[in-house]
């Protein structure tokens, strides 16, 4: 029998939420046996094509290329789960939404003209439909394991109110 396919994606983020998934140790081993992991940059160099039954998405959207990429991932994913404060609300990098982006770029980079940044940093749900959201910086390990176990059993995960996006 084919195992469900899982992909973990990184956008603008610090990788901390992916590390939470790696930190699940025993639980992750059980998950790894139950699913076929097709993409998970912190854990494997494997980069297999979709479709993906479940996509976990870390990070916010801050470049035009990321907009195109998240749309492609949405098309290829059965369920899409935004994990962490970056993915669900923009995260710390969204603080630049309240400042002058051009000024920051000019101070930090010798050639800011080569940068392709969006004017504002936005959460995943600004660009595509999101099925579930796990909040926190980083996400809570037990919530993540609970969500994955429920999804793999075809059950609706028991999450705090507001975490289910397509009610």
Name which of 36 and 140 has its Cβ closer to ligand SF4: 140
- Footprint on this chain of ligand SF4 (rule: CB under 6 A): 13-14, 16-17, 58, 84-86, 91-92, 137-138
At residue 29's C-alpha, the angle toward residues 37 and 125, to 5°, is: 50
Residue with smaller CB distance to ligand SF4, 85 or 145 = 85
Query: 35 or 134, CB closer to ligand SF4?
Result: 134
Of 14 and 34, nearer to ligand SF4 (C-beta) is 14
3-state secondary structure of 164: strand
CB of 141 to ligand SF4, least distance (A): 12
Backbone angles phi, psi at 150, to 5 degrees: -65, -45
Choose among 64, 53, 73, 54: nearest CA to 10: 73
CB of 33 vs ligand SF4, minimal distance in Å:
26
Nearer to ligand SF4, 31 or 124 (CB): 124
Contacts for 93 with CB less than 8 Å, ≥ 6 apart: 12, 60, 62, 86, 121
Closest separation between CB of residue 35 and ligand SF4, Å?
21
85 and 135 in contact (C-beta within 8 Å)?
A: yes
Q: Minimum Å distance from CB 44 to ligand SF4?
A: 18
Residue nearest to ligand SF4 (CB): 16
CB 31 within 8 A of CB 24: yes
Smallest distance, Å, CB 23 to ligand SF4?
12
161/167 Cα distance (integer angstroms)? 11
């Amino acid at each position: 029998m084919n195992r469900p396919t899982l992909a973990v994606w990184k956008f603008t983020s610090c990788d901390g939420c992916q590390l939470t998934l790696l930190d699940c140790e025993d639980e992750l081993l059980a998950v790894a046996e139950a699913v076929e992991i097709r993409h998970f940059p912190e854990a494997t160099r494997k980069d297999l094509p979709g479709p993906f039954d479940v996509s976990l998405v870390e990070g916010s959207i801050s470049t035009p290329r990321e907009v195109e990429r998240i749309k492609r991932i949405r098309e290829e994913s059965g369920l899409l789960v935004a994990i962490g404060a970056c993915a669900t609300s923009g995260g710390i990098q969204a603080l630049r939404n309240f400042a002058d982006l051009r000024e920051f770029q000019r101070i930090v980079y010798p050639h800011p003209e080569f940068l392709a940044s969006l004017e504002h940093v936005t959460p995943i749900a600004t660009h595509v439909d999101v099925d579930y959201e796990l909040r926190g910086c980083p996400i809570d390990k037990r919530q993540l394991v609970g969500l994955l176990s429920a999804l793999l059993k075809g059950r609706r995960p028991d999450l705090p109110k507001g975490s289910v996006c397509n009610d």
